[in-house]
Amino acid sequence: MNSRRKRAAGERELAGKLREYGFTARRGQQYCGANGDADVVGLPGIHIECKRVERLNIFEAMKQAERDRRAEEIPAVFHRKNREGWLVTMPLEYWIELYKTFAGEKGATADEN
């Protein structure tokens, strides 16, 4: 399978997985020639860079997500390799922001362990 077809298949797979969780996800517009869109759209506020490869340079992928995102979006790399589940990588400060929101909803504080 050539790399373009594998990339497209990975994006469709991720979009399908996100739909299983109830999101309205689809491949971004880059498949029709537009640039700057996320690989997969449907999580408002998140710029999704999708990588479906055996060997991933996560730092380069993260730089791409940072470079391509809109100012209000959180950059995130969704990635997996064969026979493994999907993972999400994002900068720590954004993860902390998300977790604080989650913990606040659960009534926890940062001091609780």
Calculate mean pLDDT across residues 98-102. Answer: 93
Q: Give per-residue pLDDT as tens, 56-65.
A: 999 999 999 9
Which DSSP state fits 67?
Answer: H
State how far the Cα of 74 lies from the Cα of 93, in Å rounded to an integer: 10
CATH class of 3-106: alpha beta
Confidence of residue 111 (pLDDT cuts 50, 70, 90): low
> 33 pLDDT exceeds 50?
no
Task: Calculate the CA 72 to chain-centre distance.
Answer: 15
Taken as a whole, the chain contains a residue count of 113
Report percent pLDDT > 90 for the chain.
78
State how far the Cα of 50 lies from the Cα of 18, in Å rounded to an integer: 12
**Domain boundary assignment for the chain:** 3-106
Q: How many CB atoms lie within 10 A of CB 41?
A: 19
Please name the residue that has the structure tokens 């449907």. Answer: 42
> 88 pLDDT exceeds 70?
yes
